[in-house]
Chains A and B, each alone.
Chain A
């Protein structure tokens, strides 16, 4: 039986991963098509650099391919696992990154996108956020990113980080307070008119 006969969207990630582990090449194609854009987006929101986001995505997926033979569908969701690995890889990169390295390779804006000035302001704010995130304790940075960059709910974050919901709430609250303090001196630069 091959997966080619079934609709791509019908098959859960876990089942595809098991099929992949059994040598199915179609499974890899479908899984990569689903997972890579999501993972790349998560990494890009946190790191702000195309090349770094691609490196993280490639590393995360290689790890996924390698654990495929051990994958237990009843024990975990592939998306949870991938969020966790990607988050860890990103915070590793943030820690290693020096402030002077400001590689900013952002895709060309499509027509109809925000104006150039808005684009530049977004870039500056995104860069400032990455720098501030790199100053945070790793777990705070992860919780804040999963909540406010990836838009995940606290129960899902709790599962990804393997902690309680209360711990997630505590980490995100502390992380936000720390970010607010770290970014305090940059308001004017980031387009906030009044220091209020």
Chain B
């Protein structure tokens, strides 16, 4: 004779849950060490210099700068060449900054490495 098995009742199910609640894992030292290593690795990724990080933070000017190879790449370019490039691709509101630089107002521009903006001093 086959009888359909009755479902577990609430009391029996509660006992099942209680068994599971009693299960406690071991918090192992080397596991905790791994977790802290992960945390440090993520922090280190944030502070590591990279082109991607620079472009994420900076915007168009820093993107161009990193594409030109930074100081090492642009050292050989005349200031006028850099200016021309910049005028060509920079957003309009940057032009007032260029105007100020060319016509004599002191402006701190990251692209330019010296005061000799027009390159007149060779």
Interface residues of A (CB under 8 A from B): 20, 23, 25, 28-29, 31-33, 36-37, 40-41, 43-46, 48, 50, 53-54, 57-58, 61-62, 65-66, 68-69, 106-107, 114, 121-123, 125-126, 128-129, 148-149, 151, 176-177, 179-181, 183-185, 187, 190, 192, 195-196
Assembly CA distance A40 to B19 (angstroms): 17
**Closest Cβ of chain A: how far from B23's Cβ, in Å?**
5
Q: Smallest distance from the beta carbon of A183 to chain B beta carbons, Å? A: 5
- The stretch among B24-32, B67-75, B82-90, B91-99 that forms the contact with chain A is B24-32
Which of B16, B27, B36, B42 touches A66 (beta carbons < 8 Å)? B42
B38 touching A61 by the CB < 8 A rule? Answer: yes
* Minimal Cβ-Cβ distance residue in A for B42: A65
In the complex, the answer to whether B40 meets A25 with C-beta atoms within 8 Å is yes
User: Is there an interface contact between B12 and A192, defined as CB atoms closer than 8 Å?
Assistant: yes
Distance of B21 from chain A, by nearest CB (Å)? 6
Interface size class of B (residues with CB under 8 A): 20 to 34
- Residues of chain A within 8 A (CB-CB) of B120 are none
A54 touches B40 (CB 8 A): no
Please, which residues of chain A bring their CB within 8 A of the CB of B16? 125, 128-129, 179, 183, 190
Question: Chain A residues near B5 (CB, 8 Å)?
Answer: 184-185, 187, 195
B39 lies within 8 A of chain A by Cβ: yes
- Assess whether B19 is in contact with A107, with CB atoms less than 8 Å apart: no
Contact B25 A125 (CB under 8 A): no
B13 and A180 form a contact (CB under 8 A): yes
11 contacts between A and B (CB under 8 A): A20-B43, A40-B25, A45-B23, A107-B26, A121-B19, A148-B14, A176-B13, A184-B5, A184-B7, A187-B8, A192-B8
Q: How far is the CA of A57 from the CA of B31 in the complex (A)?
A: 10
Chain B residue nearest to A107 in the complex (CB): B26
Residue of B nearest to A133 (CB): B20
CB neighbours (8 Å) of A69 from chain B are: 46
Chain B residues whose C-beta falls within 8 Å of the C-beta of A177 in the assembled complex: 7
